[in-house]
Amino acid sequence: MQTVKQTSPYIRKDVSTKRMMIDVLIALIPVVAFSIYRFGFDAILRILVSLIVMIGLEALIFGITHKPAKLEKRWERIKSRYVDYTINNITAPAISAIIFAMIIPSKLPIYAVVMGAAFGIMIAKMLFGGLGSNIFNVAAAGRIFIALAMTSMFDGTYVGVDLVAGGTALTSLRSGLGFPGVLASYRLSELFFGFIPGAMGEISAAAILIGAAYLIIRKSADYRVMLSTALTFTVLMFFAGLKLYPDMTIEYVLLQLFSGGLMFGIVFMVTDPVTSPITRPGRWIYGLLVGIVIVLIRLFGAYPEGVAFAILFANMFVPLIDYPKWSTNKVKPAFIAGFIVLLAIFSLVVFFGVGGTV
């Protein structure tokens, strides 16, 4: 069956878009609460700044880009610009703002928070037409803007945004400490529950999984894209671990799963209904692509983390994945076989890439 052209979001069920957005906000509560517990006022301040910037700028640009009615009173003309402004125009940037705040460190300078939030909402969203029209994840775009454009503004203790909060498990792994040394410094239980350095909302896998369970139960996020990303990442890292740490492969995979922004990205960013594919097979392909790019960046790239980069990279291919000429909403045996073959090919690429058989 060929897909029918339709607009975002991709989830089609008997609830409103507003209800879906509220579900996401509810799912974020455990993560936000834990970040405030860990980082206190630093977390609260950066969340509030991000909310004010994103909601305020979206409202401002919305009014500027809508033609006012021909009325005598100036205030009435201004109000007429916002006739089509709904609660969704507040809830959507609020979600992006909170997600953005959760993927930055608690000590990130306020000016950097403002610039990242402003870039995300203005360039990645409103420039494309606003609500439901953006092709790039707003929070990821803001985060990458900081990582690429503002890193040089930090002093010598900051070797990149990932390190502002201190030496994380991933950065320690890259620093030459080695996996056994990292595991001695960061127990898997600490990685799971979040008692480690890192971005505010990415450190507690337990809090993130509570939010994931809520979204899946409420059917406000598609499990396919979550499962596809997690499965791809796990399989590829397993093959890397077979070569790098054959006696501790499982521990290596778990450390990679619970470190950095992977879990948060899988639950709250990859599932973004505006920037993800519409079809069921498309979501599997999208997750496969995100998982592959994250692994390649972590193992062979210049950055210890790769979630935001991978999501933005995959966003570019969503229109191609959803192209009506070949897209379908049925998961056929040929598609399953193709998915497995691609996963196998990249597993071999990773295995040989880290020095397999040498």
Q: pLDDT tens digits, residue range 146-183?
A: 988 876 544 333 333 443 334 577 777 766 666 777 77
What are the start-end ranges of the H helices in 245-326? 249-258, 262-264, 280-300, 307-315, 318-321
Q: And the tokens for 75? A: 């205030």
Q: And the tokens for 324? A: 């009506």
Q: How confident is the model at residue 194 (pLDDT cuts 50, 70, 90)?
A: confident
Give me the pLDDT at residue 326, please.
64
Mean pLDDT, range 260-280, rounded to an integer = 92
Task: In whole angstroms, give the CA distance from residue 173 to residue 309.
Answer: 19
Quick check: 39 pLDDT over 90? yes
Q: Which of 223, 316, 227, 319 is nearest to 8 (CA)?
A: 319
Quick check: 7 pLDDT over 70? no
In the 8-state DSSP scheme, what is residue 67?
A: P
Quick check: 212 pLDDT over 80? yes
Mean pLDDT of the chain: 85
Q: pLDDT tens digits, residue range 314-351?
A: 999 998 998 766 677 788 888 899 999 999 999 999 99
Question: Is 113 within 8 Å of 200 (Cβ atoms)?
Answer: no
Task: In whole angstroms, give the CA distance from residue 221 to residue 286.
Answer: 14
Among residues of the chain, what percentage have pLDDT more than 70? 87
Cis peptide before 9 (omega within 30 of 0): yes
Look at the chain and count its residues.
Answer: 358
Task: In whole angstroms, give the CA distance from residue 92 to residue 24.
Answer: 10
Give me the pLDDT at residue 15, please.
52
Quick check: 295 pLDDT over 90? yes
Give the number of other Cβ atoms within 10 Å of residue 341's Cβ: 10
Q: What is the pTM (predicted TM-score) of this model?
A: 0.88
The domain ranges of the chain are: 17-353
Question: Is 228 within 8 Å of 283 (Cβ atoms)?
Answer: yes
Task: In whole angstroms, give the CA distance from residue 142 to residue 45.
Answer: 17
Give me the pLDDT at residue 167, please.
53
Q: How confident is the model at residue 307 (pLDDT cuts 50, 70, 90)?
A: very high
CATH among 1.10.3470, 2.60.40, 1.10.3430, 3.30.1490 for 17-353: 1.10.3430
Quick check: 129 pLDDT over 80? yes
Q: Residues 6 or more apart from 212 whose CB is under 8 A from it?
A: 27, 221, 226, 266, 267
Least confident of 27-31, 56-60, 195-199: 195-199
Angle made by CA atoms 54, 58, 64, in degrees to the nearest 5: 150
In the 8-state DSSP scheme, what is residue 267?
A: I
Task: In whole angstroms, give the CA distance from residue 122 to residue 129.
Answer: 10
Question: Is 259 within 8 Å of 191 (Cβ atoms)?
Answer: yes
Question: Is 240 within 8 Å of 350 (Cβ atoms)?
Answer: yes
Amino acid at 93: P
β-partners of residue 69 are: none
